C-alpha cells in the first residue's frame, strides 16, 4: 500500500492517524492492522459483524464491468472528478472499477473502501495508485478528517455525516444511483427487485443537512447482453441474495437473445456545507 494512501487513513478504534510499521499499520494507541498479502488492509473494528458481497457476487461484477457495459457511467464519473485535487475516496467501491477509471493517468491517489474482503482484494490491484481497505460505511470511516479531496459513491450506502467529516471543505462528492426504470425490461422479465421511483429525491433529502447539490444529470444508454452477461448483472446486485441461480439461468435462456435492457442512472454532484 502506497505511503500516500496510508497518509489518509485513521484508526477505526480511536480515530488516530495510522502510520506504516513494517507490513502493518499502527496508531499512537498501539492498535495494529496487518496488510494482507493481496495488498488490502481490514480496518473493521473488532467484533464487527457485517455481510458483504460474496466471492461469487464480486466475480460477477468484475467480469461484467471489465466487458465495458457500464463504461458510460465510469466516463461520467471521471468527468465530474476531473479537476478534484488530492486523494479520491470511493465508499462502497466494490472491485475499484469506477475509482480506477477516475484516477486514470493522473498523479492522484485513491482509496477504495468496501465491507467485502473479496471486493477489497480486487480493488487493491485495480490501479497502481490506489489502496484498498475493508470498512463499514455505516460506522466511523477509517479516514482522517478532511483528508479526501473527492468522494465517490456508486450504487452504495451513504453515511452523510461521515462523508462530510472526511471530505475537505473545498472537496466534491459524486453519487450515482439507479433510476426507477434502470434495467426495467430485465427486472420485469425476471421478477427482480425494483428501484424506488423517488430514490434520487430521497438521496438529496438524506444529504441535505451536510451537502449542497451542485448538479445532477441522467446517464441513460442501451445494453446488449448475452445470457451469461444478463446472469452476471443479476448476480452482482441485491437480487443475487434472493434469486435461485439455476432458476434464473433457465428463465434467462428462455428470453430472446441478445437481451437489450436500458441502463438508467442519475449522477449527482455535491459540495459540503460549511
* CATH code for the domain of 256: 3.40.50.150
- Which residue's C-alpha cell is 425490461? 185
Residue 204 preceded by cis peptide, ω within 30: no
Q: Choose between 199 and 90: higher pLDDT.
A: 90
Q: What is the DSSP letter of 223?
A: -
Residue 245 has pLDDT above 90, yes or no: no
pLDDT tens digits for 119-176?
999 999 999 999 999 999 999 999 999 999 999 999 999 999 999 999 999 999 999 9
Counted domains in the chain: 1
Domain assignment of residue 82, yes or no: yes
Which range marks the domain in which residue 186 is found?
Answer: 42-272
Q: Which residues pair with 154 in a beta bridge?
A: 176
Domain assignment of residue 202, yes or no: yes
Domain assignment of residue 1, yes or no: no
Domain assignment of residue 239, yes or no: yes
Domain assignment of residue 265, yes or no: yes
Domain assignment of residue 2, yes or no: no
Q: Which residues pair with 218 in a beta bridge?
A: 266
Domain assignment of residue 141, yes or no: yes
* Predicted structure pTM score: 0.92
Domain assignment of residue 48, yes or no: yes
User: What percentage of residues in the chain have a pLDDT greater than 90?
Assistant: 71
Is the Cα dihedral 107, 112, 117, 123 positive or negative?
Answer: negative
Amino acid at each position: 500500500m502506497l505511503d500516500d494512501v496510508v497518509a489518509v487513513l485513521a484508526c477505526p478504534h480511536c480515530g488516530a492517524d495510522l502510520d506504516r510499521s513494517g507490513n502493518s499499520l499502527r496508531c499512537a494507541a498501539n492498535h495494529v492492522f496487518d496488510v494482507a498479502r493481496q495488498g488490502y488492509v481490514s480496518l473493521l473494528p473488532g467484533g464487527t459483524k457485517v455481510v458483504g458481497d460474496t466471492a461469487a457476487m464480486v466475480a460477477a461484477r468484475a467480469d461484467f464491468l471489465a466487458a465495458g457495459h457500464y463504461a458510460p457511467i465510469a466516463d461520467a464519473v471521471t468527468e465530474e472528478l476531473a479537476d478534484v485535487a488530492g486523494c479520491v475516496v470511493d465508499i462502497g467501491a466494490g472491485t475499484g472499477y469506477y475509482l480506477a477509471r477516475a484516477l486514470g493517468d493522473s498523479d492522484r491517489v485513491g482509496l477504495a473502501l468496501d465491507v467485502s474482503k473479496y471486493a477489497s482484494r480486487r480493488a487493491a490491484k485495480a490501479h497502481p495508485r490506489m489502496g484498498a481497505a475493508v470498512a463499514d460505511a455505516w460506522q466511523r470511516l477509517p479516514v482522517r478528517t478532511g483528508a479526501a479531496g473527492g468522494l465517490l459513491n456508486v450504487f452504495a450506502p451513504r453515511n452523510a455525516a461521515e462523508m462530510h467529516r472526511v471530505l475537505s471543505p473545498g472537496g466534491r462528492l459524486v453519487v450515482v444511483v439507479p433510476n426507477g426504470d434502470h434495467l426495467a425490461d430485465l427486472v420485469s422479465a425476471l421478477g427482480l427487485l425494483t428501484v424506488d421511483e423517488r430514490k434520487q429525491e430521497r438521496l438529496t433529502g438524506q444529504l441535505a443537512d451536510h451537502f449542497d447539490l451542485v448538479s445532477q444529470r441522467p446517464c441513460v444508454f442501451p445494453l446488449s447482453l448475452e445470457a451469461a452477461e444478463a446472469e452476471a448483472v443479476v448476480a452482482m446486485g441485491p437480487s443475487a441474495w434472493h434469486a435461485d441461480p439455476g432458476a434464473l439461468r433457465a428463465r434467462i435462456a428462455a428470453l430472446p437473445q441478445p437481451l437489450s435492457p436500458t441502463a438508467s442512472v442519475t449522477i449527482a454532484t455535491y459540495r459540503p456545507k460549511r
